[in-house]
Structures are given as C-alpha cells and as structure tokens.
Structure 1
Amino acid sequence: MAAANEDEILEGFLCPICKADLKSASQLTSHFESLHQEEQDVLKSLKDIFGKAKKIILNNDENDLKETFDRALKFNYQEQAYYSQEQVIGVSRSSTDYFKAVRSARLERYATETNKLLIRLDKLVCNMPSEPNLRKQYEQEVVPWLDGSSVKLCPNCAKTFNITRRKHHCRLCGSILCHDCSLFLDLNIARAIVDPSAAISAEVQDQESLEKNGLRLCEHCYNLVELRKQIQDSRNAKTVVMTAYEQMRSLMEQAKPAVAMYEKMCQSLFDGETTYNLSDVNAMRGRIGKLAEGIDLLSKQIAAHPSTPGTREARLHAAIRQAAAHYIKEDLLSLRKLPTEAQIEEVRRQRYERAEKQIQMERQRMEAEEISNETAGASSAAMVDHDDDDPLLEQMNIIRGYIKEARRELRFEEVAILEANLKELKKEYQFLKLSNRS
C-alpha cells in the first residue's frame, strides 16, 4: 500500500516508483525489472519483503491447521474414552429438553393454533340455536368477525367482491372469504371432534343441506380441524386382532343364553311337557353349533396373526386361542344328550295318565259337592254348553298361532311364555266345562 498524496490512499500491488497497480506480485516484479533497472537495491528489498510476507502467511496457516487438527484429535480421544468406559447400572441421561427444543419449532405453533380453534369449535356447537338469525348472532358473539368494509378482494382467490360474489366469514377465525373458497364442516362431525365419546349420525348430508346447516370455514381452519379428526380416528382405529376378538366375545355372549335355553328345553322334554318338541331343541342345538364354529374360526384367525415368536403379543394370541378352545369344549360341545321320540312319548303318556286321574278325582269331588247342594241342580240344568261360541277357545286358537310363528323364528323364550298362558286357559276351560256338565 502506498500514498500518492495526503488525501488519497491507494491499495494493491503498487509500484514504489510510478505507483502503478500491477494486480499481482509476479506482474509487479517483472514491471520493476523492465522499467526500473537502475533501482536494483529497491528491487532486492522488495523481493525480501515478499519472501518474509510469504513465510509469515505460510507459518500462520500451518499453525492454524496444526491447532485445528490437535483440537479435533483431542475431542476424538475424549469421545472414545467416554463411550469405552463401563456404564454404571441405574445411571441415565434425560433428553427431554433437547427433544422439546427440536419439536417445538415445528409443532408447537400448529398445536397451539389447533387448540384455540377446538376451544372455539366447542363453544360454537354447544347450545347453538337452530333459528338462522339467532345462530348467526350467536356465532358472531363466540368468534368476532373481521371488518370487511375495506376488503375489496377475496384473500384466497383474489377475486373482486360484488353483488353476486358476497363476503362471508370463517366461523372459527373470523376472516373474510368468498363462497367458492368456503368449506363446510358437518355439525355432527364437529361435535364428535370436541367430544370423541359422542355418537356420529350415519345420515349423509348432500351439499345443499351441508351448506345450510354446516359451519362455514376457511381452508386453513378446515385443514387444521380435519387433521385433528384424522389423529382421533387413527387413535381410535381398531386393529385386526381387536376386531376379531370383539366379534368372538359377541358370539360368546350370544351362546351363553342359548345354552341356558337348550338346557331348559331338554328338561322340559324329560319332564314330559308339551311346551317344546324335539325339532325345537334340535334347532337350538344347531344354532349353538354355528356359534361354536364362529368362535373357533375367529380364535384361529387371532392365533394365526403375524407376530414375533416369544413376544408378549404372540403369547397373548396363543392364550386367546387356548381359552376359546376350552370354552367350546366345556360349554358348547358338552351339551346334554337329547331323549328319543319313544322316550318322550312314554313320559308324556305317563304324564297324561296322571293328569287324567287328577281330573277324574276332581270331577268326582265336584259331583259329590253338587249332590250335597240342594239348589245346585236347578241352576245347573239351566246351563247350556256352547263350545263353538266360547271366547276361551278362540283365544286359545290365537295363542296357538302365535306359538307356531315363534317356533318358526326360534324365539323359544316367547314360546315358553305363550305355552304357559295356553295351559292356564286350558285349565280354566276344563274347569268351566266340568262345572257345566255337573
């Protein structure tokens, strides 16, 4: 660097004689040798200056490189010593703070914004009026709307607002948008988002009814709410094993009363009752057999589900299969053996004979009481038997029709109730008939 005068400062590879800028050291040396040969002493001193400067620069670079290399080597030795030392059991390091710092940059802003929208959504769907004008006023009270007097274009599509393209507001953030840029959220889905335990209606609304009854949202708010719904659905989604296990438990719950009903029907046949017949009991046994097949099939599907051998999941699948097989063997396949037709007829014949004897004894008792009663003869003579017009017979025929229909649909609990009513009517009819004959 050299100074041409007191006010100007020149920089670069300048010739000390003519002050020309030669851009590089080689050009400066050749320029000085060709044009300023008489000043050889100056040239020698110039070469010495360049040599010393070069040596200093190279030494500094080597020192910096050596220092950097030594520092890296020292760090490497420390790192190897840390990982090679024996780890003490029970000692741990927490990376929670580091994890939060990394996560917050991407998720915290969206999580906070989504939570604000969910709080507003909860306030909107709670106690929302059904009348349109009151509903609009209620929505403005929950979420203040932006003043759109100075807004001339839709912020989303940049189209001009006019008579046909009116201004609308997002119900969650209050921003302004046009109808074409609006998205509508079903109120049933909105209630399910803020309250996951609420049941969602299976009714599918068309676009017109959705625009009329749904919540108008901007694209940003709609995407955030939809993302929260997808997260809820993924958390509540059932695995294949869980679905199969629930179906298997449902079949077991159906089999329990079916087995109890089968035992009741078998006992009725062994007692000689006419409430059920052999075909009814066989139908119930077939129903139990189908339930056993379904339970067995579902338990095999659970056991065959892919899992790593020896893991807790594999042991759980095997335990479910073993429990299902034990239940089928002990509760569904060990049913009482049915009696034969001959055995049923014999028991019913004996039961009929006992009933006839009881009726005969009751008839004799009533005849004895009638003879002892002096006024009973006149009143009994006036009685006339009208079996064809007896309302009890009509009612019994109606009940028989109900019993036939219930048997056809395997509603054996209803059959038992109807048969009990029919027995009571038969007893009453027999009693009236005996009284008339006496």
Structure 2
Amino acid sequence: MATANDDEILEGFLCPICKADLKSASQLTSHFESLHSEEQDVLRSLKEIFGKAKKIILNNDDSDLKETFDRALKFSYQEHRWLDEEQVIGVSRSSTDYLKAVRSARLERYATETNKLLIRLDKLVCNMPAEPNQRKQHEQEVVPWLDGSSVKLCPNCAKAFNLTRRKHHCRLCGSILCHDCSTFLDINVARAIVDPSAPRTSQPDHEITEKNGLRLCEHCFNLIELRKQVQESRNAKTVLVTAYEQMRSLMDQARPDVAMYEKMCQSLFDGETTYNLTDVNKMRGRIGKLAEGIDLLSKQIAAFPAEPGTRQARLQTAIRHAAAHYIKEDLISLRKLPTEAQIEEVRQQRYERAEKQIQMERERMERQRQRKEEIAGPSASRVDTRQDDEDSPLLEQMNIIREYIKEARRDMKYEEVAILEANLKELKKEYHLQKLSNKS
C-alpha cells in the first residue's frame, strides 16, 4: 500500500519508485532489480520491511518457520557478499555446499508446508458432514478463516470485490480469494491423497463444484497436486510389471479350465451323456488360446531391455523359463480325447447295463405285485393309476431341464450342465419306476 497524494490510496504490489502495480511479489522483485537497482536507500528500506516481517513472524512462536527464515537471511547475505567480492582471474571455488544448503532449506520449507496442508486436508475430509451449513462450520473449525472486512481486492488477480465478485476462503490456508481465482479439489481425490489405500474415484474437472469439492487457492492446490503426482509416480506400474500381471491373470484363468477339461474327458470315457465331444473340443481350444497368450507375454518379458548378468535380466529369464514349463507340462500335455466310435461303444455298454438294471427292477416289482394278489385274493378290485405319457408332470420337467442344458452348453457353463444332467438322470429313473408301478 502506498499514498499517491492526500486524496488517493493505492493498493497492491506497488513499486516504491514508480508506483507501478506489478500484481505479484515475484514480478515486483524482478521489476525493482532490473530498473531501480541503483536506489540504495530504497534497498535499505526494503530490508527494514523484511526485518519487520521477521518480527511479526517470530511472534507466532513457529520454530520451524523461524529457522527457515534465519537460514534464508544467512544464505542471502552470503550470496550477496560472494557477488560483491572481487574475483581473481584463474582462481575457482566450489559452490556445491552452498547449493546443497540452499536446496535443502527450500526443500525442507516446501516439505514442511506440504505436510501441514496434508494434516489439515485429512482433518477436513475425515467425518465431513453432508449438510452444507454443518460442513462450513466443520471447515472453519479445522482451518480458521481470515477476516476479510478490510480486504478490498483479490490478492491474486487484484480485482475489486463487489456484489458480483464475492469473497471466498481457501479451505487449507484460510486466505481470501475470488471465485475466478479458486480451484476445486475433488473430495474423493482428497481422500485418496491422505489415504492411498482408499479407492480413487474422481469427477471430471468441469463437474467439480463447491458441493463435491474443496475450494483452494492456487498455491495450496499446486502443493497438493504435486503431492498427488508423487504418489502416482510411486504407484505407477512399469511395462514389465504390467505384462507379468497379465500373464499371471491368464494362468489363473487356465487352471480351472484345465481341471474342467479333465473332468469332461473322464465323463466321456465313462460313457456319460453330460458332455459331448464338441463341448470338450471347445474347452481345449480355449485352453490353447490361453497358452498362446501366456507364451507371447513371457517372450515380451524376456525381450525387455536389461543389462546382461544383472538381477533384472536373470529374473526375466526365469519368468520365461517358468512360463514355458507351465505351458508344456499343464496346458499342452492335455489328456487325449476318445474317438466317436469309442464314445459310442462305451455309451452302448452303459445303456445295456442300465436296461438290464431296469429289467431286474421290473421283475422285482412284478413279484411284489403277485404276492399282493395272492394275499388279497382274485376278487380284490384293482385301481388303475395309469396316466398317459403326455400328461405326466415328470416328462414336462425333463423337457424343461433339457432346454436348460442346451442354454448352458451354448454359454459353455459346463458346471451347470453337469448339475442339470444329474437332475435329469434322477427324473428319468423316477419316471421308469413310475411306469413300472403303473403297469403292475
């Protein structure tokens, strides 16, 4: 702030010499150093301003900020003294220690500030109320808002506040800004930043508003965004890791398919009608495609650039050998399928055994009927419970189950096929027993 005359008061980042408003502190410093560097009196006045600022900051009892401020003044003094010293031709000096000290101080400053923002962010998103008024009260309890009664201009864009340009507060530092200078951070993204294990679901940038986001100033948003980028870079998967995970996924899919294939083959060899040769050939083709995918991915992993003899190169070679061994032992060497003639022969033998068993059951039922007639006498009335085949509910149920079996075969759901075939077998057995009972 500077006084132009008795009637006008100027506000902003003003040059002490030409009274130009430079909009930001960095532009003001650059302007003064390039155009007014010869003004030593003004330079001393700026140092006094920094001294006053230091006293104000130190009154806040912030030990970390105090140490950072002291180091900054010390390094600034050393830098100017080094520049003012007369340089001797042929003499060189190392500035590595000075560079490391300055860099460490700045990194510590940003790390400390970022950690404080993360702590506040964690408190904000933890148990955040859904009701707007309660949420606003919760935000002010976590981060006190600055009093904006005396602030007439937006500190970022230097535009005056009015009825259309209202005052807002950053939810992390409590500073005042206008809506145009606000940036919104998605609440779901904020939860993922403070808790990396939480699922990350975010809204598109154009849909993030004050209802589903946190209003932040540009400085706080940049620090949080930098933190998010660091997390994403740490959690980012390399091409090698992605290929390995895809290969493992194909292996996990192949194991149950191989087990199902063996079960289907055994069913064919046993003469069962649960599966047919077409079903088993489809399953074999599916396993073959999985084997091709595993082989391709393992070759890509082995061909990934690596220094010969290093641990990574040995690991890639071991992955390739393990994949090739798995394909050879578990996927390629599958059980050989029987021929159609073999299947028909086994099923015929199974059918003959079933017919023989039914005939034996029929004879047993006939003997029981004869014994009952001998006991009851020839004049006993008989009740005919015979039903037409077309009206039998068992036949209707069997037809329904056959339709379900067709659908399951079409979708390659062979576990369901096995269950439905077992149910159909029980119904057939019950139907034959019912026919025998009706004949008797």
With the shorter chain as reference, the TM-score category is 0.7 to 0.9
State the Cα distance separating 1:386 from its structure 2 match. Answer: 2.9
Q: How does 1:268-307 map to 2 (within 5 A)?
A: 268-307=267-306
Match of 1:338 in 2: 337
Check 1:178–1:431 CA distance in 2 against 1; reply closer, same or farther (3 A cut): same
C-alpha distance after superposition, 1:76-105 (max 9, x if no partner): xxxxxxxxxxxxxxxxxxxxx999846422
Are the structure 2 counterparts of residues 425 and 99 from structure 1 closer, same or farther at C-alpha, using a change threshold of 3 Å? farther
Aligned equivalents of 1:261, 1:306: Cα separation in 2: 38
Deviation at 1:376, TM superposition (A): 11
Asked if the contact 2:184/2:208 (under 8 Å) is kept, the reply is no
- Correspondence for 1:398: 400
- C-alpha spacing 1:335/1:379, structure 2 compared with 1 (3 Å): farther
Matches of 1:380 and 1:243 in 2, distance apart?
77
**Preserved CA contact (<8 Å) 2:250 2:293:** yes
Q: Quote the Cα distance in structure 1 between the aligned partners of 2:283 and 2:194.
A: 46
CA contact (8 A) 1:248 1:294 kept: yes
Give the 3-state SS of the residue equivalent to 2:135 in structure 1.
Answer: helix
Please name the residue that 2:222 is paired with.
223
Q: 1:384 offset after TM fit, Å?
A: 2.9
* 2-structure distance, mates of 1:376, 1:187: 90
Q: Which residue of 2 aligns with 1:261?
A: 260
Tell me which residue corresponds to 2:238.
Answer: 239
Contact 2:306 2:313 in 1 (8 A): yes
Residue 361 of structure 1 is matched in structure 2 by 360
Structure 2 residue aligned with 1:381: 383
In structure 1, the gaps of 5 or more residues are 1-67, 73-96
Asked which structure has the greater CA Rg, the reply is: 1
Counterpart residue type for residue 283 of structure 1: K
Cα shift at 1:206? 5.9
- Measured after TM superposition, the shift of residue 134 of structure 1 is 1.2
Q: CA deviation at 1:366?
A: 1.1
Q: CA RMSD in A?
A: 2.4
Query: What are the within-5 Å matches in structure 2 for residues 165-176 of structure 1?
Result: 165-176=165-176
Q: Give the partner amino acid of 1:111.
A: A
Q: CA shift at 1:291, angstroms?
A: 0.3
Q: Give the match for residue 425 of structure 1.
A: 427
Alignment of 1:21-420 (within 5 A): 101=101, 103-201=103-201, 204-205=203-204, 207-374=206-373, 381-420=383-422
Change (3 A) 1:101 1:436: farther
Are the equivalent residues in 1 in contact too, given 2:118–2:194 (CA < 8 A)? yes
Aligned length: 346
Offset at residue 406 of structure 1 (A): 1.4
In 2: Cα distance, 1:364 partner to 1:353 partner: 16
CA distance in 1, matches of 2:330, 2:348: 33
1:296-322 per-residue CA deviation (whole Å, 9 max, x = no partner) reads 000000011111111111111111101
The one-letter code matched in structure 1 to 2:355 is E
| TM-score, normalised by the number of residues in structure 2 | 0.75
Deviates more, 1:203-212 or 1:384-393: 203-212
2:140 maps to a residue whose letter is Q
CA distance in 1, matches of 2:427, 2:220: 70
1:77 equivalent in structure 2: none
Deviation by residue 1:229-270 (Cα, 9 ceiling, x = unmatched) = 000000000011100000000000110010000000000000
The separation in 2 between residues aligned to 1:327 and 1:223, in whole angstroms, is 49
Residue 418 of structure 1 deviates from its aligned partner by 1.4
Residues 100-132 of structure 1, C-alpha deviation per residue, up to 9 Å, x if partnerless? 846422210111111111111111111111111
- Once the 2 structures are TM-superposed, how far is the Cα of residue 382 of structure 1 from its aligned partner? 2.6
Q: CA deviation at 1:381?
A: 3.1
In the TM superposition, what whole-angstrom CA distance separates every residue of 1:131-162 from its partner, at most 9, and x where no partner exists?
A: 11111111111111111111111111111111
- State which drifts further: 106-115 or 396-405: 396-405
Give the deviation of 1:419 after TM superposition.
1.2
Correspondence for 2:438: 436
Tell me how far apart the structure 2 counterparts of residues 220 and 380 of structure 1 sit (CA, whole Å).
99
- Judge conservation of contact 1:380–1:436 (CA < 8 Å) in 2: no
Q: Which amino acid aligns with 1:436?
A: N
Q: Specify whether residues 184 and 436 from structure 1 end up closer, same or farther in structure 2 by C-alpha distance, changes over 3 A only.
A: same
Q: Where does the alignment leave 5 or more consecutive residues of structure 2 unmatched? A: 1-87, 92-96
Q: Does the 8 A contact of 1:182 with 1:219 survive in 2?
A: yes
Aligned mates of 2:381, 2:331 — CA distance in 1 = 60
Between 145-154 and 346-355, the greater mean CA deviation after superposition: 145-154
Amino acid at match of 2:352: E
Amino acid at match of 2:416: E
2 CA distance for matches of 1:376 and 1:145?
106
